[in-house]
Structure 1
């Protein structure tokens, strides 16, 4: 698969940055990465999976920044680097803190630019996307409009943020209730989503071998958000992909069970192409990427679409 997007030869990385967050109990730490040159940079907020931190997902972050995005990575309260006790009163509501952390970043972009002088005045705040993996996918889903169904059947408050114009949901968990294992139902009450309210454009990426111990179903559980939300316009199913999608969490990490540089490359290229087209009306990257997958003699996966995010004018021009 090949995506025609302009690359930047060098990137800058700055962190950790500490944002004051008194209602959180401790500062919110961030890492910022961006192209070394260029202005009007679109922004990606990257939500890590359970126990990960701002140090993870380098294969994705490096690729996105090399292709023109500024990337901001927070460390959430569930990170193993913080070692929050299970008895901590914040633990049951960490999923809410995660969403609040992402919004805090957007609220404090001026402060972040002040701390990173190389970034000052270079962000395009009209083009902001969010990407999440696993638990991070649940976080981003809430920002795109998804809700949580309470034990009494009520739907949670709307926690979406209109500043986020598009999203990518990687290995994002599906429906709850009868589809959760007893352990998941007991410990992760927030994993009972309603996707009907998720209306922001999103790409869903799932592995066809991602058989989660949290669900009574198989890998198709991770496609629920695509099937049940009006906003998810495209689904990429990676052949042989397990939960880490070939190793997206880091270079040479030991917890990857399906190591595949080609699979990671597919995630890099397709996520970049989708976000370019979702954020720029005249961008053809996603259409080119889908054609490349369709024409490949040995594709890493398949793509399904409900409706193209490419405008008819762009499609006709191609």
Structure 2
């Protein structure tokens, strides 16, 4: 089958970029500080924007290897530290995950305003790991952000019985089949509930966090997905299967066509 891009977009970059980082002191209201780390390609934009949400007790910097890989490929990545679930917060409140989709949408608004000219408001996506995956799913369902045109869910699941809503957007799910934190069955159920173009990368021996060869596969496959969904790169779409199954560490179910 022939894949089509979800949105018209400039040609995908043919080179890798050097990456710069900066920190934005954002705050939603009086009591929700959202210090946001931004990884950005060093080059002429505008580039697509990816909002990334971390897992419980994690920090944006914990994902630097993956997020900088995306930035090198031509994407601006903004990752807030959430006020009650990050390692920086000092006060863990798991239920506050329910407030994070609104935080994430606020950060998107602020980054688009503050980095105007460097980011493309018409090419915005969301991704997240674990609790951040739950946050990302919320942004495509009960707390739908209409600006989002694609998403990646890493080891995430649904916590509310809310259907995916709004304009269809391609989603890539990534889950370890031996994940003991968020069970593979729960991730699979979230994938099955998506009514739009979607794909599921299952890491056969993977746990909650991808490491080693599995990390390389996740980085390559997610980058292919971003290049297709945010730049319309049909070549990257055709690479998905080969990159996802490289080394035999993962399998790919693909309904993106």
* TM-score exceeds 0.5: yes
Q: 1:132-281 alignment to 2 at 5 Å? A: 132-145=128-141, 158-174=142-158, 191-197=159-165, 199-212=168-181, 219-231=184-196, 233-246=198-211, 261-281=212-232
Contact 1:195 1:225 in 2 (8 A): no
- Which of 29, 46, 51 does residue 40 from structure 1 map onto? 46
The secondary structure found in structure 2 opposite 1:284 is helix
Count of residue pairs brought into register by the alignment: 244
Q: Is 1:80 paired with 2:100?
A: no
State the distance in 1 between where 2:214 and 2:233 align: 28
For 1:59, the equivalent position in structure 2 comes to 65
The secondary structure found in structure 2 opposite 1:22 is coil
RCO greater where, 1 or 2, for CA within 8 Å and sep 6 or more?
Answer: 2
CA drift at 1:269? 0.8
State the distance in 1 between where 2:52 and 2:244 align: 25
Contact 1:129 1:164 in 2 (8 A): yes
Alignment gaps of 5+ in structure 1: 114-119, 146-157, 175-190, 247-260, 309-318
Going from structure 1 to structure 2, the CA distance change for 1:283 and 1:40 (only over 3 Å counts) comes to farther
For 1:95, the equivalent position in structure 2 comes to 97
Q: Is 1:8 paired with 2:16?
A: yes
CA drift at 1:284? 2.3
Going from structure 1 to structure 2, the CA distance change for 1:26 and 1:292 (only over 3 Å counts) comes to closer
Contact 2:37 2:80 in 1 (8 A): yes
State the distance in 2 between where 1:162 and 1:122 align: 21
The secondary structure found in structure 2 opposite 1:55 is helix
State the distance in 2 between where 1:240 and 1:5 align: 33
Alignment gaps of 5+ in structure 2: 1-11
Q: CA RMSD in A?
A: 2.3
For 2:237, the equivalent position in structure 1 comes to 286
For 1:105, the equivalent position in structure 2 comes to 107
Normalising by structure 2, we get a TM-score of: 0.86
Deviation string, structure 1 residues 143-183 (Cα, Å, up to 9, x no partner): 112xxxxxxxxxxxx31011111000000125xxxxxxxxx
For 1:300, the equivalent position in structure 2 comes to 249
State the distance in 2 between where 1:232 and 1:171 align: 19
Deviation string, structure 1 residues 193-215 (Cα, Å, up to 9, x no partner): 33454843100111111133x6x
Off by >4 Å, runs of 4+ in structure 1:
none
Normalising by structure 1, we get a TM-score of: 0.70
CA drift at 1:111? 4.5
The secondary structure found in structure 2 opposite 1:108 is helix
CA drift at 1:5? 6.7
The secondary structure found in structure 2 opposite 1:194 is coil
State the distance in 1 between where 2:22 and 2:150 align: 25
CA drift at 1:8? 2.5
- Which of 62, 72, 75 does residue 69 from structure 1 map onto? 75
The secondary structure found in structure 2 opposite 1:290 is helix
